[in-house]
Amino acid sequence: ELNRGAEGGVARTLEPLSPRQVAERSAAGALLVDVRTHEQFDDAHVPDSICVSALHAGFGTKLAWVGAQAGELIFVGRDDEDARVAASLAAAIGIAAPTSYLSGGMTSWRMERREIGRIGRLDPEGLYERREREPDLQILDVREDSEWRAQRIPGAVHVPYHDIEEISPRLDRSRPIAVICESGQRSAVAASIVQRLGARDVIHVVDGGVGTWARAGHPVERDALSAPSRAA
């Protein structure tokens, strides 16, 4: 099957794979990219896959970062059309890795009763309530440096989502890690990466983020503003 790129030209051969083939190639090092909604991913996904929803803004940017060094990309969608669209976008932004997809989408994986990955979900208020009960709950803030300096949750660990290559030594992968950004989109990608890197209990903070937390009156820290310079 030939996939057509954004300009209408043939981009590459797009290979359909059975669930067994996906599992084998994943074990051999292929990168699985789930392009469904964040909610669908959190509820059930192929183990070791990364969530980059094609239904949200910024898909191309996130995919370019996630897939830049991949030897092979395997897309997982709701159905085959989801995967074809994602592959077309991958070709349009210049990703050269061989591309294939899970034939039949996530439904085919579940029909074979294969292992399922899941990620917990909390909104910012739920995160606050849980941290009140568990003061040592780990929070990973994956926003940009400027956002972190402007305001942050006390005690959070900061690593921008696009810089996550390993689990920070400041985090204990054996204990729950709540991943937060500003809206829930970047944290969706980051939560899936942290889980793929071996964290046992990952929580995706949804329906808002640090700004929502702050507007609710919960404690935040801010960098002190630099004093204005004075002429000599």
CATH number at residue 186: 3.40.250.10
Q: Encode pLDDT of 17-38 as tens digits.
A: 999 999 999 999 999 999 999 9
Is there a single domain that holds both residue 101 and residue 16? Answer: yes
Structure tokens at 178: 């709540």
Looking at the fold, whether 82 and 31 belong to one and the same domain comes out as yes
**What's the confidence (pLDDT) of residue 3?**
41
Residue 92 falls inside a structural domain = yes
232 domain residue, yes or no? no
Asked if residue 107 and residue 7 are part of one domain, the reply reads yes
**Inside any domain, residue 87:** yes
SS (H, E, C) the chain: CEEECCCCCEEEECEEECHHHHHHHHHCCCEEEECCCHHHHHHCECCCCEECCCCCCCHHHHHHHHHCCCCCEEEECCCHHHHHHHHHHHHHCCCCCCEEEECCHHHHHHHCCCCCECCEEECHHHHHHHHHHCCCCEEEECCCHHHHHHCECCCCEECCHHHCCCCCCCCCCCCCEEEECCCCHHHHHHHHHHHHCCCCCEEEECCCCHHHHHHCCCCCECCCCCCCCCCC
Has residue 139 been placed in a domain?
A: yes
pLDDT value at residue 227: 33
Q: Are residues 58 and 135 in the same domain?
A: no
Of 209, 200, 212, the residue nearest 142 (C-alpha)? 209
Q: Is 223 among the domain residues?
A: no
Amino acid type, 136: D
Domain boundary pick from 111, 130, 152: 111
Give how many domains the chain has, as a whole number. 2
Query: Is residue 82, in this structure, part of any structural domain at all?
Result: yes
- Predicted TM-score (pTM) of the model is 0.89
Question: Which domain does 32 fall in, by range?
Answer: 2-111
Q: How far is CA 156 from CA 119, 161, 162, in A?
A: 19, 14, 17
CA angle 190, 196, 202 (to 5 degrees): 60
Q: Are residues 6 and 107 in the same domain?
A: yes
Whether residues 78 and 11 share a domain: the answer is yes
Q: What is the pLDDT of residues 89-104, one digit of tens each?
A: 888 888 878 899 999 9
Same-domain pairing of 186 and 140: yes
Which of 111, 134, 153 delimits the end of a domain?
Answer: 111
Q: Which residues of the chain are under the pLDDT cut of 70? A: 1-12, 225-232
Whether residues 14 and 96 share a domain: the answer is yes
Sorted by sequence, the CB contacts under 8 Å of residue 35 that are 6+ apart come out as 52, 53, 54, 55, 59, 75, 76, 77, 82, 83, 85, 86
At residue 225, the pLDDT reads 64
103 with 130, same domain: the answer is no
Judgement on whether residues 47 and 67 belong to the same structural domain of the protein: yes
Distance from C-alpha of 70 to C-alpha of 37, rounded to nearest angstrom? 22
Based on the domain organization, do 105 and 11 belong to the same domain?
yes
